[in-house]
Amino acid sequence: MPKQIDVDRLFETTVTVFAERGYQACTTQEIARRSGVNEATLFRRYGGKAALLNRALTHALARSSFARLTVTNDVFADLVALAGAYADSVEQYGAAILSLLTDVPRHPELRDAMEALMPNMRNAAQVIKAHQDQGRIAPGDPMNMVLTLIAPLMASGLWDRAGYAMTACAGDPNAAVTTFLNGHRGKDITEEGHA
């Protein structure tokens, strides 16, 4: 009987090794060693490093809080939840996502792995769209609105990773949402963010 593979452990290890080393230095041999799986089994099951990374990132990001956003009647609370879920996901998987964004231009085989990011972004865009439909957020492309909302958090995270804290509130989801709503408030929303 073949040995059972702990897929959660394998995928978590794959994401960790990729985050630590980037695509070029990330090897299936190292992933196999750390996860306790035979390297030949990885190739048989996943076909190669790029395919394994795609599966591992898809698995990890589907379990992040950014993938489980919901919509209520409180736009401020929903956007704080969105920004907070983004921040939590970056805390957990940011190094891997940064490695992916950095390595894709040099390694076209990783383009499929980029798709692992898109379900979460589309889910966040649906939150924006739901509030646009209710007049709580100004009209505009929902995906661009998501990027506008999380951009300060993204920039703050990059500076933090480099060892330079920009401002005390740059990574604060409440501050990001307040700034976002000041520029994108719908006609049917009060200053406090309630309809």
Q: What per-residue confidence (pLDDT) applies to 127? A: 96
Q: In sequence order, which residues have a C-beta less than 8 Å from that of residue 168 and are 6 or more positions away? A: none
The C-alpha atoms of residue 79 and residue 87 are separated, in whole angstroms, by: 12
On average, the pLDDT of the chain sits at: 85
Q: Taking the CB of residue 165, how many other CB atoms lie within 10 A of it?
A: 11
Q: Give the tens place of pLDDT for each residue, 21-80.
A: 999 999 999 999 999 999 999 999 999 999 999 999 889 888 888 888 999 999 999 999
CA distances from 153 to 22, 102, 125, 133 (A): 23, 18, 17, 25
Look-up of token digits 């190094």: 95
Residue 74, CB-side half-sphere exposure with 13 Å CA sphere: 7
- pLDDT greater at residue 156 or residue 81: 81
Work out the average pLDDT over 160-186.
72
Q: Give the tens place of pLDDT for each residue, 8-25.
A: 999 999 999 999 999 999
Instruction: Output phi, psi for 137, to 5 deg.
Output: -125, 140
Q: What per-residue confidence (pLDDT) applies to 77? A: 95
Structure tokens at 150: 């999380």
Query: Which domains can be identified in the chain, with CATH numbers?
Result: 7-61 (1.10.10.60), 66-184 (1.10.357.10)
Report how many helices (DSSP H) and strands (DSSP E) the chain contains, helices first: 9, 0
